[in-house]
């Protein structure tokens, strides 16, 4: 993997259109695959993770046109029960979303056998959180470490319905169970401890599935999916990914003289926790042109530098910004006062242990911060120093360290910087362009 060198002291100016939302991209491919007829996807993220989902679906006989930046992707749906048993192992690459949603999609494919695998990082990630509740519905999934780790084998079964209370607020778990519910014999109810992103619910409904959502349910946010509806191909428009926009938001706030407009950003309320935190930090952030695009709210974000205040985050806010914590750690270092992140133990089972990796890499740049079991304590007002750092193969760490490098004194060399391609293939090109102004 390649490294990138960056020096602090420059500025950042201009407009940037971040690539399509990763979560919505995966779902549009998956739901399109099992719908009747054609689904067109405008703005699909042409990055490694959605390519993994597309490759798995193609191995099961789904025709998907070439996935290239700027082109509309066409998926020829095979219907709810049309997926073929693949001859090869389904390779989910680095993508937890691919593996977990595939488990839900495939558990109910009666009389078919599937094997899922991924890269070294994905083989370390917990899958029992999906496999176990699927077993309650009649799923048969086995794997290493008692079925918790890939490679995983799925023996397709007829599924029954049920009510599952998940111990973690995870959209991947919830979505896997909803996908399984599509072919179950009875309704499937999912109750979460806090509301996770709801893209599956929105898109499944648009495709014709019957579901009812109660975000204020007495035992926690709940979704009930009624099986039996036929999904119909749709025209999906994918908004820009707020999790990719987050790097430019923080860069625009921290880099002296910056002025950035980030266009076409998805503003689904289950994803905008970062905007709430930036407001807590008194960031001068303006949302322009708010609109609705194909069932998802979208807007443009304008940001300029300012002295930020510290923040304190925990509880139900965490699932709404779970992927933005690495870049928020960078923002906290520049704020006035000490910031505290708690209830974020989920970060330890992402592509890397993001609490440990961010603490280690920011310390290499001279930062002082404390790691707790489930978060970070980050004193503000710190000047970073250029250093040799490493993404440790994590895309969001690579991009967070890039923003840290822009505000550091001197040069920073980021090893394995090309990890960014997992969710943002043009990140380094966009950065170079914004640096030229
Ligand atoms: C995702 C859900 C989140 C998030 C991931 C994408 C999704 O994971 O971190 O990047 O598309 O459903 P969890 O469900 O594990 O919280």
Q: Is the confidence at residue 98, as pLDDT, over 90?
A: yes
138 & 273 share domain: no
Is residue 186, in this structure, part of any structural domain at all? yes
The pairing of beta strand 338-341 with beta strand 312-313: parallel
Domain span at residue 83 reads 22-226
Contacts of 150 (CB under 8 A, 6+ apart): 92, 99, 116, 117, 118, 122, 123, 125, 127, 143, 144
**Considering the domain boundaries, does residue 33 fall inside one?**
yes
- What's the number of domains the chain is made of? 2
DSSP string, 233-279: --EEEPPBPHHHHHHHHHHHHHSTT-EEEEEEEE--TTTTHHHHHHH
Domain boundary at 205, 226, 247, which?
226
pLDDT grade, residue 295 (50/70/90)?
A: confident
Q: How confident is the model at residue 282 (pLDDT cuts 50, 70, 90)?
A: very high
Cβ 423 under 6 angstroms from ligand 1? no
Report the CATH number that the domain containing residue 171 is assigned in CATH: 3.65.10.10
Ligand 1 neighbour 170 (Cβ under 6 A) = yes
- Euclidean distance between CA atoms 362 and 387, whole angstroms: 9
Q: In terms of domains, do 126 and 176 share one? A: yes
Are 198 and 174 contained in the same domain? Answer: yes
Helices 96-106 and 48-59, packing angle to 10 deg: 30
User: In this structure, is residue 365 part of a structural domain?
Assistant: yes
Residue 231 falls within a domain, yes or no?
no
Distance 23 CA to ligand 1 centre (A): 7
Last residue of a domain, one of 171, 201, 226: 226
Same domain, residue pair 272 and 146: no
pLDDT tens-place string over residues 179-191: 999 999 999 999 9
CA distances from 372 to 2, 24, 347, 348, 377 (A): 32, 32, 12, 11, 7
Are 73 and 171 members of one domain?
Answer: yes
Whether residue 144 is found in the same domain as residue 250: no
Residues 187 and 316 in one domain: no
d(CA 32, CA 182): 14
* CB of 394 shorter than 6 A to ligand 1: no
For the cut 70, the answer to whether the pLDDT of residue 1 exceeds it is no
Residue of 20, 23, 53 with the most ligand 1 atoms within 8 Å of its CB, for mutation? 23
205 with 341, same domain: the answer is no
Q: Is 347 in the pocket of ligand 1 (CB under 6 A)?
A: no
Closest ligand 1 atom to 26 CA: 11
* Final residue belonging to a domain, choices 159, 192, 226: 226
- What tens digit of pLDDT does each residue of 378-398 get? 999 999 999 999 999 999 999
273 plus 416 within the same structural domain: yes
């Amino acid at each position: 993997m390649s490294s990138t060198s960056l020096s602090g002291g420059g500025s950042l100016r201009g407009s940037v259109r971040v690539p399509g939302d990763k979560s919505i991209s995966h779902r549009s491919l998956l739901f399109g695959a099992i719908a009747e007829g054609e689904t067109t996807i405008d703005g699909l993220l042409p990055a490694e993770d959605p390519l993994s989902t597309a490759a798995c679906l193609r191995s099961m006989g789904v025709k998907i046109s070439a996935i290239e930046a700027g082109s509309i992707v066409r998926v020829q749906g095979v219907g709810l029960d049309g997926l073929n048993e693949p001859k090869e192992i389904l390779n989910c690459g680095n993508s937890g979303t691919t593996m977990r949603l595939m488990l839900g999609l495939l558990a109910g494919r009666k009389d078919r056998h599937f094997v899922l695998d991924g890269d070294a990082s994905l083989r370390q990630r917990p899958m029992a959180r999906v496999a176990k509740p699927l077993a309650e519905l009649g799923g048969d999934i086995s794997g290493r470490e008692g079925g918790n780790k890939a490679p995983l084998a799925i023996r397709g079964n007829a599924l029954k319905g049920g009510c599952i209370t998940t111990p973690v607020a995870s959209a991947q778990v919830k979505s896997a169970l909803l996908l399984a519910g599509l072919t179950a014999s009875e309704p499937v109810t999912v109750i979460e401890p806090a509301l996770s992103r709801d893209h599956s619910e929105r898109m499944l409904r648009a495709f014709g599935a019957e579901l009812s959502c109660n975000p204020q349910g007495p035992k926690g946010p709940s979704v009930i999916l009624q099986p039996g509806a036929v999904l119909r191909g749709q025209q999906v428009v994918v908004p820009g990914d707020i999790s990719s926009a987050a790097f430019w938001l923080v860069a625009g706030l921290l880099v002296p003289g910056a002025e950035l407009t980030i266009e076409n950003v998805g503003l689904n309320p289950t994803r905008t926790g970062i905007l709430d935190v930036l407001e807590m930090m008194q960031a001068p952030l303006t949302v322009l042109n708010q609109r609705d695009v194909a069932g998802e709210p979208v807007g443009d974000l304008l940001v300029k530098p300012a002295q930020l205040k510290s923040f304190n985050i925990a509880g139900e806010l965490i699932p709404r910004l779970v992927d933005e914590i690495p870049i928020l750690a960078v923002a906290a270092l520049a704020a006035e006062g000490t910031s505290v992140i708690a209830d974020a133990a989920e970060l330890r089972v992402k592509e890397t242990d993001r609490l440990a990796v961010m603490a280690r890499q920011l310390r290499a740049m001279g930062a002082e911060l404390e790691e707790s079991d489930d978060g970070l304590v980050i004193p503000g007002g710190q000047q970073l120093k250029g250093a040799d750092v490493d993404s440790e193969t994590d895309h969001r760490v690579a991009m967070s360290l890039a923003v840290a490098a822009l505000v550091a004194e001197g040069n920073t060399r980021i090893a394995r910087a090309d990890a960014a391609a997992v969710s943002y293939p043009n990140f380094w090109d966009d950065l170079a362009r914004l640096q030229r102004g």
